Amino acid sequence: MDRERFEEHLAAPQGCGVVLPGAHDGAAGGALCGDLIRLSVVVEGDRVVAAAFDADGCGALTAAGSAAVTLVEGEHLFDAARVGTTAIAAELGGLSPGKLHAADLAADALHRALGAAAREAAVPVDSERVLVAMSGGVDSAVAAHLLRENAVAVTLELWRDEENDAAASCCSADAVRLARMVAHQMGLPHFTLDLRPEFRAGVVDPFLAGYAAGETPNPCVSCNGHVRLDEMLTLADRLGAPFLATGHYARVTEDGLLRAAADPAKDQSYMLAALSPASIARMRFPLAELTKPQVREIAAGARLPVASRADSQDLCFLAGTGKARFLARHGGLEDKPGEIVTLAGDVVGAHRGAHHFTVGQRKGLGVGAAPEPLYVIRTEGTRVVVGSRDELATRRVRVRGARLHRPSDEVDAVRLRYHSRAVPCRVVGEGRSFELELDEPFHGAAPGQTACLLRGDVVVGVGTITA
């Protein structure tokens, strides 16, 4: 550690306590660590014209704030976005392990400020530039690696909750730090986009309302189609990037529609089904023709630190907490005991809350021995109606809020759950609400889930299953 450089920043900290009119702020730290830093930047066009900070805590934090200001003031926005923990520590002559936490906090505050400023930036367009969404996982890291020659990286912070497992979530502050570290190792500028208010309003609140209405919503489809990707496309405009790339496994047809990925086991076209054709036209999917083992092989060959990182499994905002607990805390959806009955009205059990059940569910019903397996057919207020697999089957599914990108007579199949296979069908009716007539029975069409309308393996529309 070079004590002289550290002492210079500590004795005469650059930008400490300076108030910058029109600045964008970012903060990090707080009660848990006892240190708090707020960093401010003013961006005009594509350049950071001024920076300042305030720090409350140890001397190392003041020095780190000063180093961050020194490194970004007067720099191009992209060069500022390449500054992270390593660069801040180097500006201070290196930091001991005990003081490195200060550089981490300064980097967090800096990138929150830069992310806010980037939403109003005006970077000249480069026809080859692509904004790459990085989540901290291996798929998005490989996507960025494959496009690294013309890439700018962004990671979204969507949810922050004391009960959330930040290490297991793909949209937490921990995931942001990991993605930023990987991006900086590739030499990429990295921005943090705080979309917590938009995510709450556009994804979490409809999720809570859906369960309150007795449905089983699909928040990932809504997030991709109406919040996350659209906001990143808007940011891409500000950063002069015509394109947005993600680590999703999906393809795009020549006429601008989503198509299933080359690897059926990883296909995510269902999760992207709500994207508009205008958004799809700007999307790039570098993993479209790859399998997961190939992606991990590329990551290992490039020595990406996330090469062996496990895939996230839970909904990002449910990581570390149970669904019932989440619904109670954030939606006030408390247990209301009721009966479990057959279609004939016979009482076969009791439950603690109908919102714990979804159409098609077989396990965990809490009913006694039955001559054949029972499945949830529907919920009616506080009653849960169960029946046999044959009674669960349906050949007609009603859809609301449909959007078709091609004439309805081109629809020849539908996927009614993420991991279910496509069922041959035809559209009956017109407008945004209609019925799907299935060529074979489907078991478990759950209200609230997404109906992904297909022409072969091409997504030609989307809607929501209704009761």
Quick one: tokens of 302?
């490039």
Over range 159-165, report the average pLDDT. Answer: 68
Mean pLDDT score of the chain, rounded to an integer? Answer: 93
- Measured from the Cβ of residue 459, the count of other Cβ atoms closer than 10 Å reads 25
Question: pLDDT-based confidence at 233, cuts 50/70/90?
Answer: very high
Residue 332 annotated as part of some ligand binding site = no
Instruction: Tell me how far apart the alpha carbons of residues 446 and 397 are, in angstroms, rounded to a whole number.
Output: 10
First and final CA of the chain: distance in angstroms? 66
Q: What is the mean pLDDT of residues 213-238?
A: 93
Catalytic residue among 171, 220, 316, 425: 316
Report residue 271 as tokens. 């999760």
Q: Is the model's pLDDT at 244 over the cut of 60?
A: yes
Residues of 188-200 as b/e, b for ≥16 C-beta within 10 angstroms? Answer: bbbbbbbbeebbb
257-283 pLDDT, tens digit each: 999 999 999 999 999 999 999 999 999
> What is the CA 173 to chain-centroid distance, rounded?
12
Average pLDDT over residues 451-459: 98
Q: Which position has the token pair 């981490």?
A: 104
Q: Give the rounded percent of residues in the chain with a pLDDT score beyond 70.
A: 96
Tokens of 107: 């980097």
pLDDT of residue 313: 64
| Per-residue confidence (pLDDT) for residue 292, from 0 to 100 | 95
What integer pLDDT is reported at residue 163 of this predicted model?
61
193/183 Cα distance (integer angstroms):
15
Q: Which of 171, 223, 425, 452 is catalytic?
A: 223
CB 209 within 8 Å of CB 260: no
Q: Examine the pLDDT at 170 and tell me if it is beyond 70.
A: no
* Residue-range domain boundaries for the chain: 3-118, 130-318, 335-387, 391-466
Q: Are 446 and 358 in contact (CB under 8 A)?
A: yes
Q: Which range, of 170-184, 239-253, 292-306, 413-427, averages the lowest pLDDT?
A: 170-184
* pLDDT per residue as tens digits for the range 394-422: 999 999 999 999 999 999 999 999 989 99
Average pLDDT value for residue range 228-244? 97
SS (H, E, C) 333-347: CCCCCEEEEECCCCE
Is position 134 annotated in a ligand binding site? Answer: yes
Residue 1 pLDDT exceeds 70: no
- Supply the Cα-derived Rg of the chain in whole angstroms: 25
CATH number of 3-118: 3.90.1010.10
pLDDT category, 33, cuts 50, 70, 90? low
pLDDT at site 367? 87
Q: Residue 319 — very low, low, confident or very high, per pLDDT cuts 50/70/90?
A: confident
Does 133 belong to an annotated binding site? yes
In this prediction, residues 452-462 reach a mean pLDDT of: 98
Active site residue 316: yes
Hey, is 168 helix, strand or coil?
A: coil
Q: Which of 222-231, 233-242, 445-454 has the lowest mean pLDDT?
A: 222-231
Is 135 annotated to bind a ligand? Reply is yes
Return d(Cα 463, Cα 452) in angstroms, integer: 7
- Count of other CB atoms within 10 angstroms of residue 175: 25
Query: What is the reported pLDDT for 160?
Result: 79
Q: What pLDDT is stored for residue 317 in this prediction?
A: 80
Mean pLDDT for the stretch of residues 40-69: 96
Residue 52 has pLDDT above 80, yes or no: yes
pLDDT value for 263? 94
Output the CATH code of domain 391-466: 2.40.30.10
CATH architecture of structural domain 335-387: Roll (2.30)
The pLDDT tens digits of the residues spanning 105-117 come to: 999 999 999 999 9
pLDDT score recorded for residue 358? 93
User: Are residues 401 and 412 in contact, defined by beta-carbon separation less than 8 angstroms?
Assistant: no
Contact call for residues 132 and 289 (beta carbons, < 8 A): no
Dihedrals phi, psi of 185, to nearest 5 degrees: -65, -30
Residues 6+ apart with CB under 8 A from 311: 137, 138, 139
247 is in an annotated binding site: yes
Distance between CA 12 and CA 17 in Å, rounded? 12
Q: Which helix H or strand E contains 278, and what residues bound it?
A: helix 277-280
Q: Does the 130-318 domain belong in CATH 3.40.50.620?
A: yes
If you search the block for the tokens 């050949």, which residue do you land on? 395
Active site residue 452: no
